[in-house]
Amino acid sequence: MNYIHKTVLDLKHSSPAQTEFYQAVEEVLDSLEPVLEGNSNYQRQAIIQRMVEPERQIMFRVPWVDDEGNIQVNKGYRVEFNSALGPYKGGLRFHPTVNASIIKFLGFEQIFKNALTGLPIGGGKGGANFDPKGRSDGEVMRFCQSFINELYRHIGPTTDVPAGDIGVGAREIGYMFGQYKRLTGRYEGVFTGKSLLWGGSLVRKEATGYGAVYFADYMLNARGHSLQGYRCLVSGAGNVAIYAMEKLYQMGAIPISCSDSSGTIYHATGVDLPLVKQLKQQQRTHLERYIEVHPDANYTPVADYPSDGHAVWRYSADAAFPCATQNELSKTDAESLLANGCHLVSEGANMPSTHEAVNLFIAAKIAYGPGKAANAGGVATSQLEMAQNASMQNWSFEKVDQQLQQIMKNIFVTASDTAKEFGQDGNLVTGANIAGFRRVADAMIEQGIV
């Protein structure tokens, strides 16, 4: 369609060299053709052009001093993408690969993901090209303080509420909250993913991984199956992957792999989750150490990965849960998964499958839950944390977990009903994109040209 094609072309001129951002935009816009054709008002209102341009983008210098006394300089970002549905909400990523394209793709995805939760949250994302690996707690603290010395003036509990993402967990949120409090003198719910000691919510830590597994189970239930006995490939060994594996075990499935930036573990009898938690959460070390304890497991270092993809997806399994990072599942990986009998993919990570891989899953009609639907449990539980902070309450684990399950179910039903409405039964990419889009677009129209 001309309108969509022209918007993407204009974007490539106005925001050059942002490959991941174009990928995320094209995936959403491709799905919107039927809804745009059926409603000329969206085009008259220039909704697409307005949606692909962030409301505000902040880029800033983050200088800090390392343990040797050297001055280090990183680049910080916060992209406040869309506030039609509520305050900007989305995580912060600290990883050496962070750049404007990565933050914009994540912020763009976040708009539709947050809309799908049905909760009052807009979309935003931020981060820095800082690598916390190998840094002392003191260095991480000084970096976080410097990051907040600029960011504090842009965020607030009713304006923009950051949380964690890759490289940002409870430790980093603690240091950032402390500095925000010192600078503003205010003790308020400006971050989510906080420690349970001072304003965090039960289940937030587990929510993204648990949510991706609940979503998988709802997809299977609709096809007359359940996760019981499923052998599952998981990638990643961070916050999302660990709690996805925990929930898989609780639901009677068996996670047989995990990975990190150094390599992939395959353990046919089931991943030793307490060991992975110890290696990654406490020792902050590489997964290679896993085979010292379990010589029967297989470890593939990154150097030995296939040139056209990732070692983790070349094993045989019933289901796959990509939970590490973007574009970690290639076309060849998807072909290998399908050839080996995989019939369920639930994305804990953001945009982990390439566009070609997604198309193969859709064409094969397997149960495929795109990230913006399947991993929305994290941000949804962040909103439950905001609700508890605002009402000065602490809800029980069971109460939050029940709400998380209900939200994941609603997302599945909404995406699946919307797919059906547009004649694409079972295509949750189309369903999720259109359902998220309609909610945001209609709110934007009602709020005028702003």
78 binds, among ligand NDP, ligand 2IT, none (CB under 5 to 8 A by kind): none
Q: Is 350 in the site for ligand 2IT (CB under 6 A)?
A: yes
**Spacing of C-alpha 436 from chain mean position:** 16
Q: Which two tokens stand for residue 15?
A: 């925001």
Residues 6+ apart with CB under 8 A from 156: 87, 188, 190
Taking the complex as a whole, the smallest distance from the CB of residue 439 to ligand NDP amounts, in Å, to 19
Residues 6+ apart with CB under 8 A from 391: none
Radius of gyration of the chain (CA): 21
- State the CB neighbour count (10 A cutoff) for residue 78: 27
Q: Which two tokens stand for residue 46?
A: 């220039």
Pick the stretch among 52-60, 85-93, 222-230, 291-299 that binds ligand 2IT (CB under 6 A): 85-93
CA distances, 2 to each of 8, 9, 90, 356, 373 (Å): 10, 10, 31, 22, 28
Residues 6+ apart with CB under 8 A from 274: none
Q: Which two tokens stand for residue 47?
A: 């909704």
Q: Which two tokens stand for residue 432?
A: 């999720």
Q: Is 281 in the site for ligand NDP (CB under 6 A)?
A: no
Task: Figure out which of the listed residues 32, 227, 324, 357 binds ligand NDP, where binding follows CB under 6 A.
Answer: 324
Task: Figure out which of the listed residues 101, 201, 350, 427 binds ligand NDP, where binding follows CB under 6 A.
Answer: 350
Q: Is 389 in the site for ligand 2IT (CB under 6 A)?
A: no
Taking the complex as a whole, the smallest distance from the CB of residue 379 to ligand 2IT amounts, in Å, to 4
Q: Is 260 in the site for ligand NDP (CB under 6 A)?
A: yes
192 binds, among ligand 2IT, ligand NDP, none (CB under 5 to 8 A by kind): ligand 2IT
Pick the stretch among 6-14, 59-67, 83-91, 309-317 that binds ligand 2IT (CB under 6 A): 83-91
Which single residue brings its beta carbon nearest to ligand 2IT?
Answer: 91
Taking the complex as a whole, the smallest distance from the CB of residue 119 to ligand 2IT amounts, in Å, to 11
- State the CB neighbour count (10 A cutoff) for residue 77: 25
Nearer to ligand NDP, 255 or 378 (CB): 378
Nearer to ligand 2IT, 309 or 371 (CB): 371
Q: Which helix (H) or strand (E) holds 127?
A: strand 122-128
89 binds, among ligand NDP, ligand 2IT, none (CB under 5 to 8 A by kind): ligand 2IT
Tell me, yes or no, if 125 is annotated catalytic: yes
Sign, Cα dihedral of 38, 39, 42, 45: positive
Query: For the residues of 74-120, what is the DSSP string, one character each?
Result: EEEEEEEEE-SSSSEEEEEEE-TT--HHHHHHHHHHHHHHHHHTTSS
414 binds, among ligand 2IT, ligand NDP, none (CB under 5 to 8 A by kind): none
Residues at the contact surface with ligand NDP, assessed by CB under 6 A: 97, 164-167, 208, 236-241, 260-262, 280, 323-325, 348-350, 375, 378
Residues at the contact surface with ligand 2IT, assessed by CB under 6 A: 89-91, 110, 113, 163, 165, 192, 350, 378-379, 382
Q: Which residues are the active-site residues?
A: 125
